[in-house]
Amino acid sequence: MNLVLYNDLSREKEKFVPLNEGRVTFYSCGPTVYDFFHIGNARPFIVFDVLRRYMEHIGYKVTFVQNFTDIDDKMIGRANAEGITVAELAERFIAEYRKDACALGIHDPSVAPRATDNMIEIIDTIKKIIEKGHAYEVKTSGENGDVYFDVRSWPSYGKLAKQSLEELESGARVDVGEIKRDPLDFALWKAEKPGEPSWDSPWGKGRPGWHIECSAMSSKYLGETIDIHSGGVDLIFPHHENEIAQSEAATGKPFVRTWLHNGFLLIDKEKMSKSLGNFMTARAALEKYPPLAIRLFMLSAHYRSPINFAPDGLEQSVGGVKRLRNCWGDLQNARQNQSARQNQKTATDKDASEFIRELHALDARFYEAMNDDFNTAGAIGAVFEVVKLINIQIRQSCLPSAFFDEAEAALRKFDAILGVIGIDDESANEKSKEVKDEESEIERLIEERAAARKSKNFERSDEIRASLLSLGIVLEDTPQGTKWKREL
């Protein structure tokens, strides 16, 4: 099995050879848990879930780490706005992340560490970088200080982004309150500010910068040099460039052997942004489309290409999932009918030999595509050819058991890797149970509110509207009745 992956560090396709035979260490940057994750972030979660499943399928023991960023500017801003602690905010959105990830069929990582649980390792990593002379402290007030990475002391800075220091410098910005020597320097540690959570450190009270957590947790859970690190293409600079500089400065060893980045997800051909009003959470997408269709859609393009999240593409995936599931269902029915007719003429396994030969050729195409930089689009093409082949055979009245065994094993295998057929999950093609439960509760409250309004109990009706609003549900009274939508 020759798995070839495109490495963003070398900008070439390379034969994948793990550091330790048979084992893969894999780190993927996880969500900042200040809100529901958006559909653009669902893309790396889904595609790298499938890559991990595939590597397990071909025999690797994969340790897959995906972190939760539970302390940063966005966390603090949102927690203060809602009048809750950063820890409470994190707890809430880690739970919401898990709901959506589970609905999308994303397997749990081997480890899902949180930044705030790894403060000792984070502080330790910063200490090492200072000792090696690649970071410096600047006192901000009293005992507390910021620590910055000294980019000019690190000659290979820019090796992932493939840009020189001069090019990078022209785009660098200095945030208010930063007191660094060079615009390219970035914060490893930020001194405490009023209203922010803080931890004790050799530089006084403060909190880590964003990038350092991934360096610290990657080496804690996977080792100083790891096989694969993945994330969205927007993380190449500065996040991943900074991770490399920090880790390699701290350990003196190469940080990551293969860097993988997925392309952008566009919404109606535009980059998603709150200001364009085309921002969509995964939760909202799950209300519109079944999870299997969302998965099939995400896997229908090469992970490095941009993908356009638009209704016609999604509808096509809905149809595709239906075809896959019908094929599986028809296969089960045909097998039952066959055994009911047992006493009639039975086919011999020899009659299946042509089918099996064609099936194996398509199976080889599936592996060839997956091994070629994880070309899920090509692999899914082969899966649909298999479906076509099965559908032709199934029309015959007399089928040998070898046909059923081979056809079922093939579909089961594709489903275990891609997770787009939902064979062992009756409700996989529907909305998740949590979403359905929540929706019926919303409908119930809307009915109760309508009754309250009818009996002029406006106090109760306002109360219901307010309590739904606190959950992010907005009611709209129309001539056709009350409609609801989720605040995005």
Residue ranges binding Zn ion (CB under 5 A) = 29, 214, 231
Q: Which of 157/366 has CB closer to Zn ion?
A: 157
Q: Which of 69/432 has CB closer to Zn ion?
A: 69
- β-bridge partners, 61: 23
List the one residue out of 34, 46, 30 whose CA is nearest residue 285: 46
- Tell the smallest beta-carbon distance from residue 92 to Zn ion (Å): 21
Element (H, E) at 227: strand 226-232
Q: Which of 105/231 has CB closer to Zn ion?
A: 231
Distance CA 65, CA 239 (A): 17
The token duo for 413 is 């295998």
Distance CA 222, CA 227 (A): 9
- Tell the smallest beta-carbon distance from residue 118 to Zn ion (Å): 13
Q: Which residue has the tokens 């109606």?
A: 268
- Tell the smallest beta-carbon distance from residue 221 to Zn ion (Å): 13
Q: Which of 35/137 has CB closer to Zn ion?
A: 35
The token duo for 360 is 């194996």
- Tell the smallest beta-carbon distance from residue 207 to Zn ion (Å): 16
User: Any residues with CB less than 8 A from the CB of 159 and at least 6 apart, and which?
Assistant: 9, 241, 244
Q: Which of 101/160 has CB closer to Zn ion?
A: 160
**Alpha helix positions (H), 300-420:** 311-340, 353-371, 376-394, 401-418
Q: Which of 29/103 has CB closer to Zn ion?
A: 29
Q: Are 293 and 263 in contact (CB under 8 A)?
A: no
Q: Which of 260/411 has CB closer to Zn ion?
A: 260
Q: How far is CA 221 from CA 125, 218, 417, in A?
A: 14, 6, 25
Distance CA 39, CA 433 (A): 20
- Tell the smallest beta-carbon distance from residue 393 to Zn ion (Å): 46
- Tell the smallest beta-carbon distance from residue 325 to Zn ion (Å): 35
Q: Are 347 and 395 in contact (CB under 8 A)?
A: no
Q: Are 246 and 185 in contact (CB under 8 A)?
A: no
Mode of pairing for the β-strands spanning 206-208 and 307-309? unpaired
Instruction: Kindly report the number of other CB atoms within 10 A of residue 133's CB atom.
Output: 10
The token duo for 403 is 């046909």
- Tell the smallest beta-carbon distance from residue 312 to Zn ion (Å): 32
Distance CA 402, CA 398 (A): 12
Amino acid 121 reads E
- Tell the smallest beta-carbon distance from residue 169 to Zn ion (Å): 23
- Tell the smallest beta-carbon distance from residue 26 to Zn ion (Å): 11
Q: Which of 27/54 has CB closer to Zn ion?
A: 27
- Tell the smallest beta-carbon distance from residue 112 to Zn ion (Å): 13
What 3-state class would DSSP assign to 311? helix
DSSP structure class, residue 191 = E
- Tell the smallest beta-carbon distance from residue 417 to Zn ion (Å): 24
Distance CA 327, CA 177 (A): 61
Q: Which of 239/465 has CB closer to Zn ion?
A: 239
Q: Which of 115/464 has CB closer to Zn ion?
A: 115
Torsions phi, psi of 42, nearest 5? -65, -25
- Tell the smallest beta-carbon distance from residue 303 to Zn ion (Å): 15
- 69-89 burial, b if ≥16 CB within 10 A, otherwise e? bbbbeebbebbeeeeeebeeb
Q: Which residue has the tokens 């901000």?
A: 140
Q: Are 309 and 39 in contact (CB under 8 A)?
A: yes
Q: Which of 145/231 has CB closer to Zn ion?
A: 231
Q: Which of 260/280 has CB closer to Zn ion?
A: 260
